Structure 1
Amino acid sequence: MTATSAMPQRGLALVPTPRLVRDSGRRLTMPYIGRIVETTEAGRLDPTCVLAAQLADDIEQATGMRWDTAKGDPWQGFIRLDVVRESTGGGDDAQVMGERAYRLDIAEDGVTVLGGGLPGLRDGVQTLRQIIRQSAPALPAVHIEDEPAFAVRGYYLDATRGRVPTLDWLKQWADLLCLAKYNQLQLYVEHSFAFDHMSETWRGVCPLAPAQIIEFDAYCAERGIELVPSVSTFGHHYMALRTRELRDLGEFPEQADRAYSFIERMEHHTLNITDERAFDFSCSLVDSYVELFRSRKFNICADETFDLGKGRGRGEAERRGVAAMYADYVTRLCRHLSERGYEPQFWGDIAVEMPQILDSLPDDVTLLNWIYEPEAEDEKVRLVARSGARQIVCPAVWGWNSLLARPHDAWRNISRMARYGWRHGADGMLVTDWGDFGHINDPRMSIPSMMVGAQYAWDPETLGDADDSEVASRMEAELNRRIALAVYGDAGGRLVEAWSDAARQVAFGWHELVGIVELDDGRGGLNEDVQAVMASRCEGEYRERVAAASTVRQACEASMAALEDRLDAAEAMNAALVEDRQTIAEAIAASSGDRAALAQPLLLACEGQLLLNDIGAHLARVWRDGEADDAESVRCGNLLAARWETWFEAYCRVWRSISEESELHRVADVVWRTADLLRGASVTD
């Protein structure tokens, strides 16, 4: 499905782009006093008139006047919302429309949005809202016909790896997802929900509570978004398996008292499924969580079970094989859900690496097939399709471990995965937004990539399949321009392009800083698990040097040496980043959107990345050249430490504006330890 007409004539930029737009070329002035009417049938489907209220809010924002709303066929209004009636016997309204299709007409005698069903009507309203936001009080006289490709257009938001969003902000995010025509949302939960009898696991992280989930579920449902429960039930139990009550359920309970580590948290977290209590534990999470949602779907996660069969389960793994252990456990969990009338989902990374698992899955299971490489291939999508299993393709917004997120990598990944999913019969697309290593990435920094996901979930073949790099570059730039206007009111269309370029100016990133800090095991010794991860990131001789290090100092020096080419370019990268920041600031100043809400996280992220680049270059210079005691080096280190600490205080205030305190203290620990290094604290030899 490809858009047959775009709307560049008057600067309108609709995301996702409708498949058919006929523009008369005329502009029509809206009445200053008006009404929005939901017909009897539309009102039955939208009993609280959320759709009419959304339009009234946008009209008030654009014109200053609050329009009336009503429902029922007798009422007259300039904007009329309707759905196709089964009883229609002829004429244009008898045209067959799928439930997700809509038609939108803006004419002199009024505006009509006609949906094939409630989903189509809702999406048609979102198109009208975007037009109103960009052009009211003079609307273009247009006829639009539209329908999405994928039935499932979902977003997956990390609410566990350091940052727990406030309920108020989650509602704002649901509003934005609705405007972008997403219809599913999942929150990633490990230890960040207040399960009964698990207070030792969630204490101190400001967990989500049952009442919040119930309220948010209702809020999402009113906006056509299915809130699907998702909770870790197999792997990713790092926090639970460090507690005194639950540690005995893990593969390596003897390691439960090791110092906390962001890196280890991503590596060691798997249940020992040879202990039957593990299955009872998994089922208890499912049974208590599922009751809070109206959805009949449930994501058990079950991904990255790295430790399976390596600790207490080693004997079973040697006897049966890890693949059989994994398949049996996931199948049991899925059947537990199926027997209760729910449709199970789980992440497909283990299954596609061990294809024999695919043949043993229950028929009602949906694989969430995540592939995050920017240059992703379709091999794994084809593999699942050939097996006959249902799948949803899952690309990423590429925000993790990045202050600025990475719109360019996200565009390459999302556009490919959408096409693969469409061509291989996937049920839909679920765009993932992760927060590894403390969730340093402000979720609002993912908005451009979230909009890219909205475009490609709606139309996976957007502007064709451009393998030519020059054509692809133009496609990306055009989509960035439309997102800048549609979301931020940037008529010049420069904002997202400059943002995307700024995100590439990373000489030294957050994940690299975390690795350097965590090479120290907290007791002055070398953390060999972190060392192994750091070595795996390097190539050639550097991988060998990091792996061969026997002290923290040697491992730090070798890790920084592996970044030498990038760190040597830090000054040039910062110069480019300063130019991008200037373009961003000018675009914000000229935008018609909420400038403060945009400037706050975005300009703060630019400043943070400038600092990270300087910090990396300074530490590399000190360790490489032995300048730790040089007067100028000491002065530079002290200055950088002060700037870093000052920046972080501002960062904390911004964090608290949309998130609970949650695990901000763990991010602070990395920041303060870095400041100590900058001030000359010794790295243990």
Structure 2
Amino acid sequence: MLSSVGFRSCLSSLAMLVAAPHASNAAPASGLRLIPFPKQVQMQEGHFRLVPDLRLAVTAHAADRFAASLLREELGLSRGAALQESSALDATAVLPHALILFPGSGRPVPEALVLPVVESEEAYALSVTPERVLIGARHVQGLLRGVQTARQLVRANVQGDALPALYVSDWPSLRHRGFQDDITRGPSSLLKTLEREVALGAEMKMNVFTYYMEHQYAFSKHPVIGPEDGSLTPDELRQLVAFAARYGTDIIGCQQSFGHFYHILKHKEYAHLRETGGILCPTVEASYQLLDDLYSEQAPLLPFAMFNVCCDETHGLGRGPSGKRAAEIGVGGVYAGHMRRIHDLLKDKYGKRMMMWGDIILRHPENLAQIPTDTVMLTWGYQAAASFEHQITPFAESGYEFLVCPGVSCWNRILPDFACATTNIGNFVRDGAKHGAIGMLNTTWDDDGENFFAPNWHGVLWSAECAWNASTTSPKDFNRRIGGVLFGEPGTHFGQAIELLSRTHSLPGFESMHDRRFWRVAMGDCPVNESASRTQAGELLAIVDAAITHLVEARRDAQTNADLLDYFLFGARRMQLMGQRMEGSLDACRAYARAVEVAADRREALAALDEAGDNIRELRDAHAKLKNDYETLWHRENKPYALQRVQARFDGVLARYEGILQKLLAARVGFAAGTPLPRARSLGLQITELGVRRTRPTEVTSAPMAPDAPWAVPGLDGRIGIRVACGPHDRLQTPVQLQLPAAVASKLGGGSLLELTPDQTMQTPVLYQVDGDPDGAVRTLAFNVGAPFQAGSERSFLFYFGSGFTPTNTSPHAVRCSAAPGGMTLIENDCIRALVGPEGGHIYRWEVKTAANLDLTQPGETGWAGFADMGRDHRSSPNKIEVLAAGPALVQLRCTDATGLQKMTTAFAGVPWIDVTLNAGKGWYWNYDRVETFAPEGPTPGIAVFSDGFRTPVRSAKAGFESQAKRGGVTWSAKSRQDGLLLALLTPEVKSRHAVGPGGGMGGTGIEHSVPAAHFVTYGGVVAEPPEAVLNALQQTMSLRNQPDTALFGTEQREDE
């Protein structure tokens, strides 16, 4: 780092050297396009012209000559100039390492440059005058960095044939600046890809590079581990090390050595070394022999002093053979013991300094001192947080050297989340520099084996900028510069495209652009409703279409690295297709529905069927083209291994569309021959709205439902019949909301709802309400079908209406709402009393009346306390609360936060559950309860239960992150006690990643890092039956995918007596 004295000396010398005032025609330095931007730039008068007969002279070191060759190559690519071979320059008297670019008519005269007074071998000075370009440094590394700056001047800053005159004094803020390629989750980069990554990283002054390794290495001692067509070979590693050395780049070796060991342990030869899942067992001695073997085939090939053993995310440690040891010394003690073993192995046998990911030891701070202090800690985190100091200071204050390790947010995504990565990288590097980090290692991960490396370059270059300059650059300025530096484009199309694409990950309906969203192609499925889906598709297409236009322009103008833009374009076109197919699928469903409606007009119906078929065919063909493009791009970057996995995903989508198309064609043939069209659901062409309760009846008939039934409400002169069919599953009390016909809505001076017995002899009053504008045409009848509602059964109701006498519509089970202090809203029925607050739209109180008014929620009315927490931007965001329905059958609140997220919170009469639907799916949703209610710390410890049948005792809050029980692919999670108290969260339509915590900050019931859901049901009450029976029935009851069918019959008018 630069001392204050050295810094002042450097500036003073520089000022004296370039003290001449700026000429009036000198452009400001801020207009230069350089990455990373130099520490000190002073613009001067004049230009250096890139004339055809330029020559290079360089000091007589082999490495210096290689640096000169890079500039010569750049001049050839960017300017078409064929330079002569570099001539020797004797400049050692003034500059140990120097390079001069000069016209053929001139002479290479070395001059004394004022070099930065800093403790860095990479410091350099660069001077451009009308007579020559001069680069000088004390070390060859500095000359290499100066040459890269000169290359960027030539590539991105030439006006006509002129370089602006200037003086640069430059040095890095962080010593080690690097990035990683994950070559072990499927894609295995070709050697030429790895070499290009090293070279391009060096252009941006990166000086370290690493590969992430679990199993895709050609281990000669363990040949079964690495796949033949997808493993890095020892010879390739040797070549990569030699290649990188020329660019002044070190290769950091890497071998996962604890967690993420699944692909090795899956082989029968190593199954006895398993702790749990994919964790290597630390109490089996053979584990260390295996690690020794794996290190022995990499470490000797790597000159760099450090080696990364990883050892992150060891969730499940202490639950296998090491359990006895963990009981004695704690899980953290077992972890630290393993780290000491491999530290000593690497140091004593291979002379390497151990690097390790810091996440697990941060969870066990009491064991941090047991890790040898010469260990280099790699502290990582990938969220867009305002600060990362809590992940840095434990290491900095304990005397460990450390690197900060942000990420490009590419994993599992169609394109990287550029906005998240920009904030994450900038803030993490800033905090690292503040606390003395020795470097930065930017990470890329290929978790689902699908993403390419090329789209990561934006995040990699941004990290190069931040690490060189300690995050002092604005993202907007960086995006202005990156297109010229990376591609040589004269404009800013690439940066504009990135800024547009940065907005896509926060769009509702697309699950942060995760790959899984692309593969979910159910026709007609709307996460919320059709209107929202069409709006979301339009928003996406407006952004992506513009981004594609910019990328095409950048591709056209690119002077170098143009092929990398093909990968950005591919990702943008995948996004584009997501919007197009959302619209196309709905259009196909609507066209089929129109064919059914106009079936009597055969010609019009056939045209509608053809329209539906054309939509599906276009979508199928668009996916087929993407598959071909994907295969082409894969082979450019990677070895063949694992491509078939992604091909299979494409094939599954294509088969889905083809299957629907064939069913539709068969239906068309049958219709043309006189067969009625089948129901849309049987063809996969039904629009299913998963975020709203269906208000339109499944069936409408003009005939009365029960004309012979007695007229039970003489004071009202109209009635309409309603029939509700349970479907194939038993249901609990079932909510129904039905839009009333205009002829009924216009006559609602009064009303009464009665359930009709099957024999039509009795009519029983049912609690109901009518919502909507009393003066409007749309009025909705809401009521609940009482439990039990048996599978296969139907229930019939008569709604009486008119302007006459209205019977009392009350019940002890009724639900009501009222205003509460602090802008809150109180909801109450005979089972629960809940308080909904404007901060985060949280349910801050949930009192169970049948449990002596016990409040289940974590105490407090701010932050994460309470239920329905959405985390991050939504947790503390102020909500506007609107009462849409005030009872007595249901209460409905619309809570809208500052980000536009809407929570529709609905409570019903007579039941201890509340329903929440969102206008966009989310993968994080928690109910925070008290530790004392279900955890072992309280008087009545509970059991965690999941929809797949898994049961386990609720764990102690003292276990920290290990206190949560988690299950993937389930629809509900719960905590229950022997006295029947039950707290549960359901995602009725979506198999999610549920978790049950002990309460408090570790959560009660929730989902996190899950497939997003837009519909949640919280149950909080006392049950007499097993919780599984209640919750399975509740899932069927509240599922918006499988709502009960409803039939609306013709109206009747009371005849005068």
Q: TM-score, normalised by structure 1?
A: 0.80
* Residue 643 (structure 1) aligned with residue 643 (structure 2): no
> What CA distance in whole angstroms lies between the structure 2 residues aligned with 1:672 and 1:514?
15
Aligned equivalent of 2:152, options 130, 133, 137: 130
Structure with greater strand share of residues: 2
Q: What are the within-5 Å matches in structure 2 for residues 207-226 of structure 1? A: 207-226=231-250
Q: What are the within-5 Å matches in structure 2 for residues 35-50 of structure 1? A: 35-40=55-60, 43=61, 46=63, 49-50=65-66
SS at match of 2:649: helix
* Residue 158 (structure 1) aligned with residue 182 (structure 2): yes
> What CA distance in whole angstroms lies between the structure 2 residues aligned with 1:22 and 1:269?
55
SS at match of 1:369: strand
2:287 counterpart letter in structure 1: A
Q: What are the within-5 Å matches in structure 2 for residues 308-347 of structure 1? A: 308-340=317-349, 341-347=351-357
Aligned equivalent of 1:57, options 73, 82, 88: 73
> What CA distance in whole angstroms lies between the structure 2 residues aligned with 1:383 and 1:97?
28
* Residue 110 (structure 1) aligned with residue 110 (structure 2): no
2:375 counterpart letter in structure 1: V
Following superposition, the deviation at residue 8 of structure 1 comes to 5.0
Q: What are the within-5 Å matches in structure 2 for residues 408-419 of structure 1? A: 408-419=419-430
Q: What are the within-5 Å matches in structure 2 for residues 168-567 of structure 1? A: 168-252=192-276, 268-340=277-349, 341-377=351-387, 378-438=389-449, 440-463=450-473, 475-506=474-505, 507-508=509-510, 514=516
CA contact (8 A) 2:533 2:582 kept: no
SS at match of 1:185: strand
Q: Which runs of 5+ in 2 are unaligned?
A: 12-21, 100-110, 597-608, 661-681, 685-990, 992-1041, 1043-1057
> What CA distance in whole angstroms lies between the structure 2 residues aligned with 1:335 and 1:566?
57
CA contact (8 A) 2:29 2:42 kept: no
CA contact (8 A) 1:477 1:497 kept: no
672-681 or 496-505, larger mean C-alpha shift:
672-681
Following superposition, the deviation at residue 448 of structure 1 comes to 1.5
Cα distance, 1:157–1:680 mapped onto 2, change above 3 Å: same
Following superposition, the deviation at residue 414 of structure 1 comes to 0.8
> What CA distance in whole angstroms lies between the structure 1 residues aligned with 2:156 and 2:234?
38
Following superposition, the deviation at residue 38 of structure 1 comes to 2.2
Following superposition, the deviation at residue 601 of structure 1 comes to 1.6
Q: In the TM superposition, what whole-angstrom CA distance separates every residue of 1:379-421 from its partner, at most 9, and x where no partner exists?
A: 1112221222211001111222223222222111111011100
2:138 counterpart letter in structure 1: G
Following superposition, the deviation at residue 476 of structure 1 comes to 1.9
* Residue 665 (structure 1) aligned with residue 644 (structure 2): yes
**2:1054 maps to which residue?**
none
CA contact (8 A) 1:366 1:392 kept: yes
> What CA distance in whole angstroms lies between the structure 2 residues aligned with 1:409 and 1:24?
38
Q: What are the within-5 Å matches in structure 2 for residues 612-651 of structure 1? A: 612-614=578-580, 636-651=615-630
CA contact (8 A) 2:156 2:489 kept: no
> What CA distance in whole angstroms lies between the structure 1 residues aligned with 2:336 and 2:583?
47
Following superposition, the deviation at residue 324 of structure 1 comes to 1.0
Q: Which runs of 5+ in 1 are unaligned?
A: 84-89, 253-267, 464-474, 519-552
**2:577 maps to which residue?**
611
> What CA distance in whole angstroms lies between the structure 2 residues aligned with 1:514 and 1:118?
47
**2:632 maps to which residue?**
653
> What CA distance in whole angstroms lies between the structure 1 residues aligned with 2:266 and 2:588?
37
CA contact (8 A) 1:193 1:208 kept: yes
> What CA distance in whole angstroms lies between the structure 2 residues aligned with 1:228 and 1:375?
27
> What CA distance in whole angstroms lies between the structure 2 residues aligned with 1:638 and 1:92?
67
Q: In the TM superposition, what whole-angstrom CA distance separates every residue of 1:523-550 from its partner, at most 9, and x where no partner exists?
A: xxxxxxxxxxxxxxxxxxxxxxxxxxxx
**1:585 maps to which residue?**
552
* Residue 570 (structure 1) aligned with residue 586 (structure 2): no
> What CA distance in whole angstroms lies between the structure 1 residues aligned with 2:653 and 2:116?
65
Q: In the TM superposition, what whole-angstrom CA distance separates every residue of 1:398-452 from its partner, at most 9, and x where no partner exists?
A: 22222322222211111101110011111111111111101x2221111121111
SS at match of 1:114: strand
Structure with greater helix share of residues: 1
> What CA distance in whole angstroms lies between the structure 2 residues aligned with 1:638 and 1:31?
57
> What CA distance in whole angstroms lies between the structure 2 residues aligned with 1:331 and 1:515?
42
Cα distance, 1:559–1:150 mapped onto 2, change above 3 Å: farther
> What CA distance in whole angstroms lies between the structure 2 residues aligned with 1:351 and 1:367?
10
> What CA distance in whole angstroms lies between the structure 2 residues aligned with 1:8 and 1:67?
30
SS at match of 1:155: strand
Following superposition, the deviation at residue 150 of structure 1 comes to 0.4
SS at match of 2:392: helix
> What CA distance in whole angstroms lies between the structure 1 residues aligned with 2:544 and 2:301?
45
Q: In the TM superposition, what whole-angstrom CA distance separates every residue of 1:80-100 from its partner, at most 9, and x where no partner exists?
A: 9529xxxxxx98669855422
Q: In the TM superposition, what whole-angstrom CA distance separates every residue of 1:502-535 from its partner, at most 9, and x where no partner exists?
A: 24325436985548979xxxxxxxxxxxxxxxxx
> What CA distance in whole angstroms lies between the structure 2 residues aligned with 1:514 and 1:563?
21
Whose Rg is larger? Answer: 2
25-34 or 359-368, larger mean C-alpha shift:
25-34
CA contact (8 A) 2:183 2:213 kept: yes
Cα distance, 1:515–1:494 mapped onto 2, change above 3 Å: closer
User: More relative contact order in 1 or in 2 (CA 8 Å, sep 6+)?
Assistant: 1
Cα distance, 1:273–1:65 mapped onto 2, change above 3 Å: same
Cα distance, 1:567–1:322 mapped onto 2, change above 3 Å: farther
Aligned-pair Cα RMSD in Å: 3.7
CA contact (8 A) 1:233 1:282 kept: yes
Following superposition, the deviation at residue 598 of structure 1 comes to 4.1
**1:144 maps to which residue?**
168
Cα distance, 1:217–1:586 mapped onto 2, change above 3 Å: same
CA contact (8 A) 1:508 1:613 kept: no
602-611 or 325-334, larger mean C-alpha shift:
602-611
CA contact (8 A) 1:508 1:566 kept: no
Cα distance, 1:311–1:619 mapped onto 2, change above 3 Å: farther
CA contact (8 A) 1:448 1:496 kept: no
CA contact (8 A) 2:48 2:133 kept: no
> What CA distance in whole angstroms lies between the structure 2 residues aligned with 1:279 and 1:71?
54
Q: In the TM superposition, what whole-angstrom CA distance separates every residue of 1:162-212 from its partner, at most 9, and x where no partner exists?
A: 111111121111111111000000011111110124332222542111111
**2:191 maps to which residue?**
167
**2:856 maps to which residue?**
none
SS at match of 1:178: helix
CA contact (8 A) 1:153 1:184 kept: yes
* Identity, % of aligned positions: 25
> What CA distance in whole angstroms lies between the structure 2 residues aligned with 1:248 and 1:565?
52
> What CA distance in whole angstroms lies between the structure 2 residues aligned with 1:231 and 1:447?
24
2:364 counterpart letter in structure 1: M
> What CA distance in whole angstroms lies between the structure 2 residues aligned with 1:62 and 1:516?
39
Aligned equivalent of 1:66, options 48, 70, 82: 82
330-339 or 496-505, larger mean C-alpha shift:
496-505
CA contact (8 A) 1:335 1:362 kept: no
Following superposition, the deviation at residue 557 of structure 1 comes to 12
CA contact (8 A) 1:52 1:69 kept: no
SS at match of 1:374: coil
**1:21 maps to which residue?**
41
